[in-house]
Structure 1
Amino acid sequence: MAILIACIVEILSLLFVVQCIQLSHRQSLPPATYGQSAGKLVEIAWGVNQTHIEVQLAYPTLGWLAMGLSPNGGMDQSDVLFAYVDDRTREVVVQDRWITANLAQGQVNLALDKQQDWIMVSGMKNATHTVIRATRKLKTCDSQDRAFGSAAVPVLYSYNFKTPASKTGPVSQHNVRGTVSINFIPSQADDTKNKPDPRDIKKRIEFRVDNVQVVKGKKNQYYCTISQIPALDKKYHAYGYEPLLNQRNLPHLHHMDAYSCDDSFTEDQVDGRTFPCGPEDGTIIMSVCNNLLGGWQSGTGATYYPSNAGLPFTPDMAGKWVVVQMHYDNSDDSEFSDDSGIRFLLSDKLRQYDAGSLTVGAMDIDLSFAIPPEQPVFKMQAQCPSECTKRYFPKDGIKIFGSTLHMHTRGSGAVLRHFRGTREFQPIDVNPSFDYNRQGGREVSPPRVVLPGDRLVLQCNYTTIKDTTPIFGGEGSDEEMCMVFLDYFPKSDLYDCGASFPLINLLRSGLQMDRNTLQQLGKALPAATMQRLLNGQLNDRDPEEIKARLKGPLTTYIEDQYWTPAKVKVWEDFYFNRESYDGLCIGANGMDTVEDDPPLIRPYVVPAVKAEC
Structure 2
Amino acid sequence: MAHVFLIRLILLLALTLVTHTKDSRLGPRSRLRYSRFLDPSNVMFLRWDFDHEAEVITFELKVRTAGWVGLGVTNRYTNVGGDLVVGGVLPNGNVYFSDQHLVDEYTLEEDGSQDAELQGLTEDAVYTTMRYSRPFRSCDPHDQDISVDTVRVLAAYGQDDTLTLSPEHIFVKSIFLLQMVHPDDLEVPEDTLIHDLEITDFLIPEDDTTYACTFLPLPIVSKKHHIHKFEPKLIYHNETMVHHILVYACGNASALPTGISDCYGADPAFSLCSQVIVGWAVGGMSYQFPDDVGISIGTPLDPQWIRLEIHYSNFHNLQGIYDSSGIRVYYSPRLRKYDMGVLQLGFFTFPIHFIPPGAESYLSYGLCKSEKFEEINGAPVPDIQVFGYLLHTHLAGRALQAVQYRNGKQIKTICKDDSYDFNLQETRDLPKRVVIKAGDDLLVECHYQTLDRDTLTFGGPSTINEMCLIFLFYYPRNNISSCMGYPDIISVAHEMGEEASDPMEGMMAMNNIEWTPENIKKAEKACKEAQQIVVIKTIDEVVENTTGQIPDIVPTPRGPCLESTGGKVEAQDKTPAGFRAAPLTLSSASTASSGGFSLATLLFAQGALSWLFASLQARD
Bin of the TM-score, shorter chain as denominator length: 0.5 to 0.7
Aligned counterparts of 1:563 and 1:155: Cα–Cα separation in 2: 32
Give the CA deviation at 1:155: 7.3
Q: Would you say 1:206 and 2:196 are equivalent positions?
A: yes
Give the CA deviation at 1:44: 3.2
Aligned pair in 2 of structure 1 residues 45, 432: CA closer, same or farther (>3 Å)?
closer
Q: Would you say 1:379 and 2:367 are equivalent positions?
A: no
* Aligned ranges 1:411-450 → 2 under 5 Å: 411-450=397-436
Aligned pair in 2 of structure 1 residues 290, 206: CA closer, same or farther (>3 Å)?
same
Aligned pair in 2 of structure 1 residues 94, 69: CA closer, same or farther (>3 Å)?
same
Aligned counterparts of 1:601 and 1:128: Cα–Cα separation in 2: 58
Give the CA deviation at 1:415: 0.8
Aligned counterparts of 2:128 and 2:416: Cα–Cα separation in 1: 36
Q: Would you say 1:601 and 2:551 are equivalent positions?
A: yes
Aligned counterparts of 1:481 and 1:231: Cα–Cα separation in 2: 31
* Aligned ranges 1:152-171 → 2 under 5 Å: 156=153, 158-159=155-156
Q: Would you say 1:459 and 2:484 are equivalent positions?
A: no
Measured against aligned partners, the alpha-carbon deviations of 1:133-188 in whole angstroms (never above 9, x if no partner) come to 4344688566846569xx99867363355789878xx874754444555679989x
Give the CA deviation at 1:496: 1.6
Aligned counterparts of 1:606 and 1:282: Cα–Cα separation in 2: 45
Q: Which amino acid aligns with 1:29?
A: R
Aligned pair in 2 of structure 1 residues 412, 28: CA closer, same or farther (>3 Å)?
closer
1:64–1:82 CA contact under 8 A, matched in 2 = no
Larger Rg belongs to: 2
In structure 2, what is the equivalent of residue 512 of structure 1? Answer: 497
Q: Structure 1: which 5+ residue stretches go unaligned?
A: 1-15, 101-106, 215-219, 331-335, 519-533, 537-542
Aligned pair in 2 of structure 1 residues 137, 204: CA closer, same or farther (>3 Å)?
closer
2:273–2:541 CA contact under 8 A, matched in 1 = no
2:390–2:470 CA contact under 8 A, matched in 1 = yes
Aligned pair in 2 of structure 1 residues 245, 44: CA closer, same or farther (>3 Å)?
farther
Q: 2:534 aligns with which of 583, 586, 593?
A: 583
In structure 1, what is the equivalent of residue 113 of structure 2? Answer: 115
Q: Would you say 1:471 and 2:457 are equivalent positions?
A: yes
Aligned counterparts of 1:53 and 1:23: Cα–Cα separation in 2: 13
Aligned counterparts of 2:269 and 2:174: Cα–Cα separation in 1: 28
In structure 2, what is the equivalent of residue 57 of structure 1? Answer: 61
In structure 1, what is the equivalent of residue 523 of structure 2? Answer: 571
Give the CA deviation at 1:28: 5.6
SS in 1 for 2:329: strand
Q: 1:270 aligns with which of 256, 261, 271?
A: 261
Aligned pair in 2 of structure 1 residues 207, 39: CA closer, same or farther (>3 Å)?
same
Give the CA deviation at 1:237: 3.9
2:68–2:89 CA contact under 8 A, matched in 1 = no
Q: Would you say 1:345 and 2:330 are equivalent positions?
A: yes
Aligned counterparts of 2:112 and 2:242: Cα–Cα separation in 1: 34
In structure 1, what is the equivalent of residue 618 of structure 2? Answer: none
In structure 1, what is the equivalent of residue 354 of structure 2? Answer: 370
Aligned pair in 2 of structure 1 residues 312, 425: CA closer, same or farther (>3 Å)?
farther
Aligned pair in 2 of structure 1 residues 481, 240: CA closer, same or farther (>3 Å)?
same
Give the CA deviation at 1:506: 2.6
Measured against aligned partners, the alpha-carbon deviations of 1:422-459 in whole angstroms (never above 9, x if no partner) come to 22122001111111111222213432111111100111
Q: 2:482 aligns with which of 479, 484, 496?
A: 496
Aligned pair in 2 of structure 1 residues 327, 589: CA closer, same or farther (>3 Å)?
closer
Q: Which amino acid aligns with 1:608?
A: R
SS in 1 for 2:494: helix
1:32–1:251 CA contact under 8 A, matched in 2 = no
Q: 1:94 aligns with which of 84, 95, 98?
A: 98
SS in 2 for 1:569: helix
Measured against aligned partners, the alpha-carbon deviations of 1:288-331 in whole angstroms (never above 9, x if no partner) come to 6764322457685541245155444556744543235689999x
Give the CA deviation at 1:98: 9.2
Q: How many residues align?
A: 526
Give the CA deviation at 1:249: 8.5
SS in 1 for 2:47: strand
Measured against aligned partners, the alpha-carbon deviations of 1:5-64 in whole angstroms (never above 9, x if no partner) come to xxxxxxxxxxx968876743256634855xxxx465635377989987654311134666
Q: Would you say 1:197 and 2:197 are equivalent positions?
A: no
1:160–1:172 CA contact under 8 A, matched in 2 = no
Aligned counterparts of 1:474 and 1:253: Cα–Cα separation in 2: 18
Give the CA deviation at 1:409: 0.7
Give the CA deviation at 1:391: 3.7
Measured against aligned partners, the alpha-carbon deviations of 1:216-274 in whole angstroms (never above 9, x if no partner) come to xxxx9999785612463556342411436689889989986432277587456637x9x
| More displaced 10-residue stretch of structure 1: 122-131 or 454-463 | 122-131
Aligned counterparts of 1:340 and 1:376: Cα–Cα separation in 2: 37
Give the CA deviation at 1:385: 1.8
SS in 1 for 2:423: helix
Aligned counterparts of 1:113 and 1:222: Cα–Cα separation in 2: 49
1:210–1:338 CA contact under 8 A, matched in 2 = yes
Identical counterparts, % of pairs: 18
Aligned pair in 2 of structure 1 residues 86, 440: CA closer, same or farther (>3 Å)?
same
Give the CA deviation at 1:494: 1.9
Aligned pair in 2 of structure 1 residues 374, 403: CA closer, same or farther (>3 Å)?
same
| More displaced 10-residue stretch of structure 1: 287-296 or 41-50 | 41-50
| More displaced 10-residue stretch of structure 1: 414-423 or 396-405 | 396-405
TM, length-normalised to structure 1? 0.67
2:395–2:463 CA contact under 8 A, matched in 1 = yes
Q: Would you say 1:402 and 2:388 are equivalent positions?
A: yes
* Aligned ranges 1:275-294 → 2 under 5 Å: 291-294=275-278
In structure 2, what is the equivalent of residue 83 of structure 1? Answer: 86
Give the CA deviation at 1:507: 1.6
Q: Which amino acid aligns with 2:347?
A: A
Aligned counterparts of 2:111 and 2:266: Cα–Cα separation in 1: 44
SS in 2 for 1:387: helix
Aligned counterparts of 2:430 and 2:212: Cα–Cα separation in 1: 28
2:57–2:135 CA contact under 8 A, matched in 1 = yes
| More displaced 10-residue stretch of structure 1: 85-94 or 439-448 | 85-94
Aligned counterparts of 2:448 and 2:418: Cα–Cα separation in 1: 11
Give the CA deviation at 1:416: 0.3
Q: Which amino acid aligns with 2:400?
A: A
* Aligned ranges 1:108-257 → 2 under 5 Å: 115-120=113-118, 123=121, 129-136=127-134, 144=143, 146=145, 156=153, 158-159=155-156, 172=167, 175-179=170-174, 191-193=184-186, 195=187, 197-199=189-191, 201=192, 203-208=193-198, 210=200, 226=214, 228-230=216-218, 232=220, 234=222, 236-243=224-231, 257=245
2:195–2:219 CA contact under 8 A, matched in 1 = no
SS in 1 for 2:522: helix
Q: Structure 2: which 5+ residue stretches go unaligned?
A: 1-20, 563-579, 581-620
In structure 1, what is the equivalent of residue 18 of structure 2? Answer: none
1:255–1:327 CA contact under 8 A, matched in 2 = yes
In structure 2, what is the equivalent of residue 29 of structure 1? Answer: 36
